[in-house]
């Protein structure tokens, strides 16, 4: 795929450059609680603006139902982008309507505009090729060139990700080029030992990547809500913990295959439990206790890895040459259940190997828990995209950027 450096060499002064970014940031009302994804696309936007391009930035935010919804407006993201660029950023109150058209037409060389949430138009996410294509046609009218830099969306076959690049000269931005380069390190000529840490709520979200990694990883460490389905598959009581009963046969098969292939599967040896899920708004004390993973009381809910598990996992990561981590180890948003996630993050910081934090909640946890992002090899902006890449799937947004 062609890169933004090739585009810059060709010259962009006076050209309208459509940047498909990922500004899908978490909001508390209109307050951005983690601006990592906005900061990640700034190098691409800044470089284009410096070269005299008229930059049109587009993204989705959340899951609106194909119609405008103030709760999902990109205006806070546009404001934050302007602060990070140190320049005014114009904001269009629609995607392809009168506001977008006039806003883009009013740009001078080196100026930047953000158009409203792409998912306010049903054509963005439509499964109908014609409807999606029609929306892409209208987006194409806003630009002369396309730059894909929204890595967190490249696994979606959406109009701005998949169809629009076919209508314009297209290039990969700095973020996508970096993300793909990092993921290749996790799939091609991987330095070993190769350890993978998987957490998060549902084991069903990770089945594909576990299946793929059983052929590649040396160790797979499991935590978070998904760990309790693994523990149940081993015959242990898991109390009222999150459990996907229907996934137990698949988990048992993975455990069998791991043993057969010599892949070390590491599960919690102790867990932090409480009578119920904690209040994440008030952060009220949750009265946790620590119990052995094979002796969880009925009526108690597992919410984090215990201290012995934290030590075990740190030891399993200490000599790893390559580490991929996706998914928190517990309910890290509450101080009573953050230690497991903090311990994994610290183990990656301490590890001499190449560490990749696989986006989503893991990336948010690193920042919320106060770690220096530069202490990790790479923090991805796309959890789902990273996982699908590691599963060996073709990602529509990357395929669209190929020539």
CA-to-CA distance for 124 and 164, rounded, in angstroms?
10
Secondary structure (DSSP) of 177-227 = HHHHHHHHHTTSS--SSEEEEE-SS-GGGGHHHHHHHTTT-SEEEE-STTH
CA distance linking residue 304 with residue 184, whole number of Å? 31
Please report which helix (H) or strand (E) contains residue 172, including its range: strand 170-172
200 is catalytic: no
Tokens read off for 60: 């989705």
Angle at 362 between CA 356 and CA 366, to 5 degrees: 85
Please name every residue paired with 148 in a beta bridge, in sequence order, or none if there are none.
Answer: 20, 172
397 catalytic, yes or no? no
- Rounded Cα gap, residues 37 and 192, in angstroms: 30
Active site residue 62: no
Per the residue annotation, which of 37, 156, 157, 206 is the catalytic one? 37
Length of the chain measured in residues:
403
Catalytic residue among 239, 358, 359, 384: 384
Beta strands in 1-50 (DSSP E): 16-20, 27-28, 31-32
Q: Which of 2, 167, 185, 202 is catalytic?
A: 202
Active site residue 202: yes
Known catalytic residues are: 37, 202, 360, 384
């Amino acid at each position: 795929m062609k890169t933004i450096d090739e585009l810059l060499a060709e010259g962009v002064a006076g050209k309208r450059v459509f940047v498909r970014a990922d500004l899908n940031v978490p909001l508390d009302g209109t307050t951005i609680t983690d601006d990592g994804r906005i900061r990640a696309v700034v190098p691409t936007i800044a470089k284009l603006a410096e070269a005299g391009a008229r930059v049109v930035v587009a993204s989705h935010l959340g899951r609106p139902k194909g119609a405008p919804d103030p709760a999902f407006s990109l205006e806070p993201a546009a404001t934050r982008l302007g602060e990070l660029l140190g320049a005014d950023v114009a904001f269009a109150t629609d995607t392809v309507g009168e506001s977008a058209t006039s806003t883009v037409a009013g740009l001078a060389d080196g100026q930047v505009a953000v158009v409203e949430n792409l998912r306010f138009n049903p054509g963005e996410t439509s499964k109908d090729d014609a409807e999606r294509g029609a929306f892409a046609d209208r987006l194409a009218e806003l630009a002369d060139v396309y730059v894909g830099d929204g890595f967190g969306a490249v696994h979606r076959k959406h109009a701005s990700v998949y169809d629009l690049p076919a209508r314009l000269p297209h290039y990969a931005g700095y973020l996508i080029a970096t993300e793909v380069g990092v993921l290749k390190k996790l799939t091609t000529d991987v330095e070993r030992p190769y350890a993978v840490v998987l957490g998060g709520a549902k084991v069903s979200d990770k089945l594909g990547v576990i299946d793929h990694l059983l052929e590649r990883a040396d160790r797979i460490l499991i935590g978070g809500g998904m760990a309790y389905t693994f523990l149940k598959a081993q015959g242990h009581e898991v109390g009222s913990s999150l459990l996907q009963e229907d996934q137990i046969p698949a988990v048992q098969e993975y455990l069998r295959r791991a043993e057969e292939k010599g892949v070390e599967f590491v599960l919690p040896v102790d867990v932090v439990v409480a009578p119920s899920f904690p209040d994440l708004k008030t952060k009220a004390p949750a009265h946790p206790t620590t119990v052995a993973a094979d002796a969880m009381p009925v009526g108690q809910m597992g919410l984090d890895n215990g201290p012995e598990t934290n030590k075990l996992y740190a030891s399993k990561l200490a000599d790893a040459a390559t580490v991929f981590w996706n998914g928190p180890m517990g309910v890290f948003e509450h101080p009573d259940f953050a230690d497991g996630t903090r311990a994994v993050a610290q183990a990656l910081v301490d590890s001499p190997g190449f560490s990749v934090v696989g986006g989503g909640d893991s990336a948010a946890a690193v920042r919320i828990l106060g770690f220096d992002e530069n202490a990790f090899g790479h923090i991805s902006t796309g959890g789902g995209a990273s996982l699908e890449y590691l599963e060996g799937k073709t990602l529509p947004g990357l395929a669209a950027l190929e020539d």
